[in-house]
Structure 1
Amino acid sequence: MLKTETPSTRHPDLDLYDTPDLVNAFVDDQFEAVKAVQAAAPRLAEAVERALPRIKAGGRLLYAGAGTSGRLGVLDSVELYPTFSWPRERAVAILAGGQSAMFVAVEGAEDDTAQGSADLAALQPTANDVVLALAASGGTPYVLGAIAAARAAGALTIGFANNPDAPVTAQAEIGITLDTGPEVISGSTRLKAGSAQKMALNTFSSALMVRLNKVYGNLMVDLKPTNAKLVRRALALTVRASGASEEAAKAVLAQCDHHVKVAVVALKNGVGVDEARAQLEAADGSIRRALKAA
């Protein structure tokens, strides 16, 4: 039996717990998710390093999964645009059962290997693409089909699973095992297995974006200010990163469509926004290098 399916020996009488103990059982078990991601950190670092040159060459992040794992892939893909201004067309997720499966479980869709292969192939993967294949069990046929199609196209494949020695991690070029063990509710991988996958995806994509110069210090200077909250955040980030007054930061942000990176370089280098953009482009989008080159 898969470890994720094995009944937990820690909580055999879960249904008899009073509410405080019941809540604590679920909360405490989440620490195992953190430990699993910590153990996988070296493989995550390898995945970032292997993915970086492909993404720099114009590749995409392609996510493939089913059920909770697939939905977590969708979540990671859609959050990259507002957080890092990552183009939506360069972070694409496929989900067993199609888009509607994001909201309503489509039972049986995950068992279709051919559909996983066809859905991934429909994205026309290239050798510069990076495919993130997600399956808590590690043996989901839909995901294995996606891996096969990705490898046939020469794309880099990174497999995430919550069971050791899983087909998903074995068949991908880089296998990342998040060994979370049995769940508090047997087999419910939306619990700590899902938490570990979310952490691992956040870690991978965020580290990749840092390496792509989307962050200055620890500030998210390439966000897309698509609402009032994010406009305020862009202003606060510009003030903090540049040391300029709020009034000066507002004026420059208004000239560059609230692009924090451009505003910071313009303010610190004392140049106009067009020159700031040119300096950033020459520095491969790195604020640090743009400031040193001035």
Structure 2
Amino acid sequence: MPQRKTEELHASAPGLDARPVEEIGAILLSGQIDALRAVSSATSDIARAGQMMAKAVRAGRQLVYAAAGSSGLMAMADACELAGTFGLAPERTRILMAGGIPTSAAMPGDTEDDTQDAKEAAEVIHAGDAVILLSASGRTPYALTIAGIARDRGAHVICLANNPDTPLLTLADVAICLPTPPEVISGSTRMGAGTAQKAALNMMSTIMGVALGHVHDGMMVNLHADNDKLRDRAARMVADIASVPHERAETALAIAKGRVKPAVLLAMGAPNLTLAEELLTQADGRLRAAMAALHSHA
């Protein structure tokens, strides 16, 4: 088996433990920056993946994230933010992690080889779902098993790996190679590889949010405002987009039950919530188009 970049020794590794602490910190930061640069070669594929995720959501299908170890943690971090950021129903997002989602600081490494666990976990996958698989090595048995099952069931398969020409990427409808350099701590893919994976996942899910109409001028207009900070953010968004005073924005939000998009239309002069919702439905949830329609309606 050829040596994988994620397992090679970094050029700055010799003598690392004998260097001054400040110098070690600078080397570690440099490793993270180099890992992020690797993402730039995959932006087109990342965009395709985000659009594929949006297609699945529009069709009422699931988003399924699957991985082991550090890659699983990166997947979980992205998946758990989708409901709050873009208003996606939590039950439409699944997280399949080798050994289960950790409930303590213990995360055994042998679970990534458990193909039987992978087969059982993959029972939740159906045709039309978007399945996002991660493996730094591109060879993790858990991820490979789920990828194969997802393909067989007619799901849309998106695979991320940090090594090129690996088995996981061959199973993908959209293959995203993030060719990160060797880790400063050899094989510790929670570092550079994990950073690149997190960046790619954040880009994918944000592109999905834009494609679904949940972003307007860089604002998350489909957020779920369930705390004081987010309620204040929602009111500021309504005030900014509709160009109205904060008090009027808060009144519109109350009528719209905290939903930013219909609240914007109400603040702009929509006579009632029913019309605001109808305009958004006709605009496929896109606020900009609904705002234009409101002007025409007036």
Please indicate the TM-score interval, normalised by the length of the shorter structure: over 0.9
**Alignment partners' CA distance in 2, 1:100 and 1:54:** 27
**Alignment partners' CA distance in 2, 1:134 and 1:214:** 25
In structure 2, the residue matched to 1:64 is: 66
Which residue identity does 1:280 align to in structure 2? L
- 1:7 to 2:9 alignment: yes
- 1:200 to 2:200 alignment: yes
Contact (CA 8 Å) 1:117, 1:147: kept in 2 or not? no
**Alignment partners' CA distance in 1, 2:67 and 2:279:** 40
Contact (CA 8 Å) 2:164, 2:179: kept in 1 or not? yes
Contact (CA 8 Å) 2:46, 2:204: kept in 1 or not? yes
Shift of residue 102, structure 1, vs aligned partner = 7.1
Contact (CA 8 Å) 1:94, 1:119: kept in 2 or not? yes
In structure 1, the residue matched to 2:245 is: 245
Q: Which moved more, 1:22-31 or 1:194-203?
A: 22-31
Paired residues in the alignment total 292
Contact (CA 8 Å) 1:95, 1:102: kept in 2 or not? no
- 1:113 to 2:122 alignment: no
TM-score by length of 2: 0.94
Percent of aligned pairs sharing the same letter? 37
CA-based RMSD of the aligned residues comes to 1.4
Secondary structure of the corresponding residue to residue 58 of structure 1: coil
In structure 2, the residue matched to 1:287 is: 287
**Alignment partners' CA distance in 1, 2:70 and 2:247:** 45
Secondary structure of the corresponding residue to residue 102 of structure 2: helix
**Alignment partners' CA distance in 2, 1:50 and 1:278:** 26
Contact (CA 8 Å) 1:67, 1:101: kept in 2 or not? no
In structure 2, the residue matched to 1:191 is: 191
**Alignment partners' CA distance in 1, 2:228 and 2:246:** 16
Which residue identity does 1:283 align to in structure 2? A
**Alignment partners' CA distance in 1, 2:28 and 2:101:** 30
- 1:179 to 2:179 alignment: yes
Shift of residue 190, structure 1, vs aligned partner = 0.5
Contact (CA 8 Å) 2:178, 2:197: kept in 1 or not? yes
**Alignment partners' CA distance in 1, 2:99 and 2:205:** 25
Contact (CA 8 Å) 1:269, 1:291: kept in 2 or not? no
> Could you report, residue by residue, the CA deviation over 1:182-208 in whole angstroms, capped at 9, with x for unpaired residues?
000111001010000000000001101
Alignment of 1:90-129 (within 5 A): 90-100=92-102, 103-121=105-123, 123=124, 125-129=125-129
Q: Which runs of 5+ in 2 are unaligned?
A: none
Q: Which moved more, 1:205-214 or 1:282-291?
A: 282-291
Contact (CA 8 Å) 1:95, 1:101: kept in 2 or not? no
Alignment of 1:1-294 (within 5 A): 1-100=3-102, 103-121=105-123, 123=124, 125-294=125-294
Q: Which moved more, 1:94-103 or 1:36-45?
A: 94-103
Shift of residue 43, structure 1, vs aligned partner = 1.1
Q: Which moved more, 1:261-270 or 1:235-244?
A: 261-270
Secondary structure of the corresponding residue to residue 114 of structure 1: helix
